[in-house]
Chain A
């Protein structure tokens, strides 16, 4: 399967600041990437679907002006959490869509703590 990296793996930021999380595909050109959020003891929640060269499609209830997604190339997608608040503290995971419809390869995740 594809190798996916995320950077940073963990970050602590102050309330009101912005944080950028990078998701890179190291060996696969991904036209579609997904961004998930997972709160403790809860399931993965899809935030948005990111397509290379076009605007991301956000799930209902996810603020597109707060969670900025840029899929600039076939190997890089970024998620920027703007004006972060403590309730944005979560585990953010990206995945990319593989060659077959059902394949998804996950990154290692980024743990964000907003103080």
Chain B
């Protein structure tokens, strides 16, 4: 789905690094989401933003910090991560909350 882009596609970071993931949607949607996908587990919702307001934080550790400056852009700021945070991080958007979600290609994160 080229309507949602994510950068970078791959990221390797040490436990003391600070990095950010970026997501941009070109679909005119109002809601954006961050998901974590680990091997052998269902997709886990992390954060939801609706009209730039955070409406859900699914008990995510504070080392993950989201930012939504407008309805087209979403960031996930990372700091002092743990090796178990290594996963595929997916961004999604929808026309409004509870509607069909469209996903980006994901960022493959490896924490050393």
| A, B assembled together | no
Query: Which B residues form the contact surface with A (CB < 8 A)?
Result: none
